Amino acid sequence: MKVSLNQKILSRNEECAQKNKAFFAENGILCLNVISSPGSGKTTTISRTIQDLHDKLTIGVIEGDIKTDTDAQKIRAAGAEAVQIETQGACHLSAEQVHRAIEALGAEKMDVVIIENVGNLVCPSAFDLGESARVILLSVPEGDDKPVKYPGTFAEADAVLINKIDLFDYIDFNLERVLADIRVVNPDAKIFQVSATTGEGMEQWYEWLLERANKKT
């Protein structure tokens, strides 16, 4: 019984994800689903991206958190429009929630819609939101064992951002191991080494983003 209920929830989600996907395709919008553990730097990375690319891309953001709209406020302070979804306990966003947020955001006027999923390295990866690409963040202080512990999440990534590289000198983090472990489950993902606070490495991420959004650098 439990299994068939799960299947029902997932197939309902999939139906709505297909609607979202069609909307993004029809409107020429690049939609990114950003997934990571709590505190990896999703909001900081998105905010910096908005500021650095403000003359090249119109970015709208859908924020997912269990409680509070603090991340949406940070995104607005960075200069972009944002809609906050409070999941009231759910550990991931659903395609239906995103569907409603697309309308509230007025997404048709955006070049890029970034969805910041609820901080969690497990549940969000099971729910397609209709995104064009999936971006996984892993920050240096979380430890270098995460790709082997959460292989399913890394396997689904189109891009992986290894964030907080400014902390390399302070934390025991085997970068070679992380790169090799990601490659085992995902040979094709683009991998970027960045610091969202110092800006190091962000140019390469921007090039990927602009190319995906069909905006030449």
Residue 166 near which of ligand GTP, Mg ion, none (CB within 5-8 Å, type-dependent): ligand GTP
Q: Which two tokens stand for residue 152?
A: 């399913």
Binding window for Mg ion (CB under 5 A); candidates: 2-10, 43-51, 87-95, 133-141: 43-51
DSSP H or E segment with residue 184: helix 175-185
Residue 84 near which of Mg ion, ligand GTP, none (CB within 5-8 Å, type-dependent): none
- Asked if residue 43 binds Mg ion (CB under 5 A), the reply is yes
- The H helix count followed by the E strand count for the chain is 8, 7
Q: Which two tokens stand for residue 172?
A: 């025991």
Residue 197 near which of Mg ion, ligand GTP, none (CB within 5-8 Å, type-dependent): ligand GTP
Residue with smaller CB distance to ligand GTP, 28 or 141: 141
Q: Which two tokens stand for residue 136?
A: 């996984």
- Asked if residue 181 binds Mg ion (CB under 5 A), the reply is no
- Asked if residue 164 binds Mg ion (CB under 5 A), the reply is no
Residue 167 near which of ligand GTP, Mg ion, none (CB within 5-8 Å, type-dependent): ligand GTP
- Asked if residue 48 binds Mg ion (CB under 5 A), the reply is no
* Out of 49, 50, 71, 117, the residue judged to bind Mg ion by CB under 5 A: 71
CA separation for the pair 19, 5 (Å, rounded): 22
Cα–Cα distances in angstroms (integers) from residue 41 to residues 53, 98, 140, in the given order? 18, 21, 11
Residue with smaller CB distance to ligand GTP, 13 or 45: 45
Q: Which two tokens stand for residue 120?
A: 């969690």
CA separation for the pair 180, 85 (Å, rounded): 35
- Asked if residue 42 binds Mg ion (CB under 5 A), the reply is yes
Query: In sequence order, which residues have a C-beta less than 8 Å from that of residue 149 and are 6 or more positions away?
Result: none
Q: Which residues pair with 115 in a beta bridge?
A: 33, 62
What's the min distance (Å) between Cβ of 53 and ligand GTP? 17
What's the min distance (Å) between Cβ of 41 and Mg ion? 8
- Which stretches of the chain bind Mg ion, using CB under 5 A? 42-43, 71
